[in-house]
Amino acid sequence: MIPTTEPFRDGPAIAIAWECLSNYTRDDAFTARLVLRNVSHHAIAPGWAICFNTCRKVLRDSVSTGFAVEHLNGDLFRLTMPGGGPWLPGQTHAVQYEALHWAISITDAPLGFYLEPGDGGPPVDLGDPEIAPFARPEQRHRMRGDLLPTADAAWRFEQNAALQLLPESAVGRITPKPVSAHFDGRRCLLSRHAPMGYERTLWNEASLLAAMLGSLPGIVPGGSGDILLEIGEVAGLAGNEAYLLDIEPGRVRIVGASAHGVFNGIQTLAQLLTPNGELPTGRVLDAPRFGYRGMMLDVARHFAGVTTVLRLLDCMASYKLNRFHFHLTDDEGWRLAIGALPELTAVGSRRGVAQDGISCLPPSFGSGADVDRSAGSGFYTASEFVTILRHAHARHIEVIPEFNMPGHARAAVVAMRERHRRLLAAGDVEGAEEYLLSDLDDSSTYESVQLWHDNVICIALPSSDRFIDTVVGEVCVLYREAGVPLRVIHTGGDEVPVGAWLGSPRCRALMAEKGWDVQDLHDDFIERCRAILARHGVEYAGWDETALKREGERMLPNPRFAGPDFHVYVWNNRWGSGQEDCAYRLANAGYDVVLSNAANLYFDLAYAKHPQEPGYYWAGFVGTRNAFGFCPLDAHAMPILDPMGHAPDRGVLDALQPLDAHGRARIRGIQGQLWGENARSRARLEYLALPRLIGLAERAWAADPLWQDIAAQEERAARVQHDWNEFANRLGQRELPRLDRARRPWDYRLPPPGAVAKDGLLHANVALPGLAVHYTVDGLDPSVHSPRYAAPVAVSDARVLKLATFDTRGRGSRIVTLNLDQP
């Protein structure tokens, strides 16, 4: 038999299965098994390798005898069989190994397998493995000390038990909740031809409103009401986003403190408007709590096309969010074309195994070997970026671009190294070094949180400053072309790994010359970046690490940069990090702060602890209620339990620093983060974003609910539960059905129902009252045609019950199965 890979070109040749065997191996390691079977009719030549991505670092000395696993870089690993012969048809290889941390969900499994044939042929994508169920306690818990229960059907039923379905009259009509809204029971009808009056400065808002009315009937009984848009004083409310919406039977009047205020009034009008053009008559007065209400989208880890970005901007605008933090670069991708530096996208936007002689980045997060079919490949041209800027600006959303540096910068470092190689080969030594981002003699040894060994810019090189200046200059040109102001650029600055720069002759020479340590070297780089931005008329923003310095074991505010032109986005409030009150300490120290707290506002984290729930969970599990229940100005508003299910240490809680009067004024607002590691498609992106984005909007816009001012714990808990019940009903009865009616409906997350079978009866409930739950008793999957649950159902003769939550268009949640034969 002649070994070959030719028959594998049109599909997988290897069946792959993966299972977590136990998370109880050690407190910070688990045991897993890979089973690989040659399902083709041909042998695979000796010397083959299987590559894959995993966020859990494999311990190389733990791999089964006869096999080896090599860590290549980042989350890319290679499995080989040293000295092995051909891989014969039907032959199975079982490989057991240990890896760091734990594996309790599908997100923890290795992804994106591809075969490197032993005959030297091109790589063959094999896809993702079949993942064995996480059934036993040692598979569902992170360690023996993990007390947090799995969010199974019984757990959900208990969590949902305090919720009640409210009558329509008790559910708010407007989200986020306005300052005041009163309706009198009459109605106003609008048609698509509603007469509209507005001043010239409101042409943009009038155009958007006209487009919104375009789906209404052309003729309505009694004729359409008139619409008047105007700018003026909104009595009793401060700020340029305030508005008055006044609806009478024959007229709609929106008065905004500015065009932005008018736009906000239009968004409220859209929520009140039925598909047939009916509006309740009444009066809404409204203004936001925070001036900064943001959403961050990471397109570096997985690329999101222009249409997806515009769609997200539309959703943000409908819930009155006004800042779009655009995370354009990271280790795994550079997504914006820069004319002076074409390698940034020619190399830095392509991920896979290059077959065309053009360098690219390695596969990450399961993106596979095929560069052109990879969800990790893609970038925005200058014209596409301008389109995004104009679309956002028309909706009063400020776009804040992020170019992450000096860490999280591997895409740029590799691209500029490729530029150096190309120009050096052409004999242009000076040109080759003009934008180089790495010290070619650097022997530093480090590993980033995402397992990269070469992802940090050499900040002692003048070429690094030149690179930043060139990128910033071109970005400014794009904003001017779009006719949009550029006020702030976010420079990242987080998670620089320990050990970076220590082996760089250039960095060591500069530190020796200046008498600096690494902190001084880093601070000088930040100062230079700040100065470059200032020369372009742009203010500086960065993650919390840019405003901190290490003192012993703690990271404390660095007084060097505090000021109104230095904006800090604080993400790390993970319990046990020592940074739980970092945002408040920075605000008290003079920094303007945007709260970006991971434990409440990281929408890439899993909604709940369940094996089938996608997302990370290093800072805990973040459901919609976590975003809704966030108390932005209360340092002590920590979760009742830490991520492992333990009660927080009272001593640590008591030591948290509260905001002082000046610090409270420096909290500019809050922002949700949608990191892209698990956003492999538009549907997954929308699932992760919604409905959490709506909870974020509620807390950013609506008035302070004052929960933190209620001293009695039971009374405070009751008030929070009351408010959550109303908001959950608002989502289930109003907002999610409204998303279903969109021209292109949203793939938001539908919460699986809670359910228990007790005394021959099925009891079920749902986390967002108003959503439908359908069930079957014959083992078939439920659909909208299955019986709808309304009250306990007799199921004493059933052996298998299946349930799911459904939206108004018939889309179902994850199916819940109850096996009544099992104890």
**Catalytic residue list:** 495
CB 246 within 8 A of CB 279: no
CA distance 346 to 337: 9
Rounded to whole angstroms, how far apart are CA atoms 394 and 396?
Answer: 6
- Angle at which helices 682-689 and 306-318 cross, to 10°: 20
- Closest CA relative to residue 818, chosen from 768, 771, 767, 758: 758
Residues 33 and 94: beta-carbon distance below 8 Å: yes
- Beta carbons within 10 angstroms of residue 444's beta carbon: 18
3-state secondary structure of 801: strand
Q: Contact at 8 Å (CB) between 290 and 701?
A: yes
Beta-bridge partner residues of 488:
539
Amino acid at the residue 180: S
Place of tokens 């893609």: 378
Integer Rg of the chain from CA: 28
**Number of continuous H segments (helices) and E segments (strands) in the chain:** 21, 34
Query: How many Cβ atoms from other residues are within 10 Å of residue 194's Cβ?
Result: 21
Do 599 and 695 form a contact (C-beta atoms < 8 A)? no
Q: What is the largest CA-CA distance in the chain?
A: 86
* Residue 447 phi, psi (nearest 5): -145, 125
Query: CA 509 to CA 437: how far, in whole Å?
Result: 17
**Count of alpha carbons within 13 angstroms of residue 245, beta-carbon side:** 28
* Cβ(212)–Cβ(181) below 8 Å: no
**Cα angle value 208/209/210 (rounded, 5°):** 90
CA–CA gap between residue 395 and residue 400 (Å, rounded): 15
